[in-house]
Structure 1
Amino acid sequence: MSEHDMDAVVGRATEKVNLLEEALSGLQSIKARASSESDQVTAEVDGNGNLTGLWMDDSISTLDARTLAALITSTTHEAARLATEQRAQVMRALQDAFSKV
């Protein structure tokens, strides 16, 4: 293998590593928030689907436990769905970039 060929291999490998690092950074920075229709509950989820924040308006004190539980669950589910969309976008961008390298 010539020096030119070796430089090309190293260049492609370096480019792929950079693409992977960029994707990892993108995945780590994902934060998705969703609020209930009534704005009584807001949930934040990271790129792994972990709940990272939950905010509730004082008006929740008038809700019964089942209603509040359903509101928290549905709002958190929506935030997780949004985070999943963001994660898929990062992965599609990585896949597209790899296909061009």
Structure 2
Amino acid sequence: MTDGLAASLLARIDEQRDLIQALHDECQSITVRATNRDRSVSVEVDGMAAMTGLWLGETAYRNGADDLARQIVDTAQAAAKIAADRQRYLLERFAERLSVLERAPLKRSDGSTHQPSE
């Protein structure tokens, strides 16, 4: 590549790297807390749906261990679904932005452009 195309390509690569880093940072920052209907169980998960917090109210134990376990699992699943939905949304936006970036023509130093073939 000559006439500044290499510099334009390197600039595009930098933009792609920055976009990937931003996606990574956004996904890492996802935190979701869900609470069951009677507000006795709250579960927090990260962007990978790993449980990062559990809060049990005084009434959480009233129906025994099996019910408590079910409440925790159900609430954790609800939080994980929300986290997955947020991550899916971020990935869709990322794919759109990356597609626009990839379709943008490369600029030569003389101001003309080059459209890479697909």
* Counterparts of 1:68 and 1:61, CA distance in 2: 6
The alignment of Structure 1 onto Structure 2 pairs a total of residues equal to: 101
1:23-57, Cα deviation, whole Å (9 max, x unpaired): 00011001111100000000011111110000010
Q: Secondary structure of 1:89's match?
A: helix
Amino acid at match of 1:48: M
- Residue in 2 that maps onto 1:92: 92
- Residues of 2 paired with 1:2 and 1:60: CA distance? 69
Structure 1 consecutive aligned stretches of length 4 or more whose deviation exceeds 3 Å: none
TM-score, reference length from structure 2: 0.82
In structure 1, the partner of 2:47 is 47
Identity over the aligned pairs, expressed in percent? Answer: 27
Structure 1 residues without counterparts, runs of 5 or longer: none
Distance 1:13 1:83 in 2: 29
User: Is 55-64 or 10-19 further displaced after alignment?
Assistant: 55-64
TM-score, with structure 1 as normaliser: 0.95
Q: How many angstroms does 1:61 deviate by?
A: 3.0
RMSD after superposition: 1.0
Give the distance between the partners of 1:89 and 1:25, measured in 2 at CA. Answer: 14
User: One-letter code of the match for 2:85?
Assistant: E
Residue by residue over 1:38-90, the C-alpha shift from the partner in whole angstroms, topping out at 9 and shown as x without a partner, is 00000011111110000010122322112111111100110010110111111
Give structure 2 stretches of 5+ with no counterpart. Answer: 102-118
Q: Matched residue of 2:82: which SS?
A: helix
SS in 2 for 1:37: coil
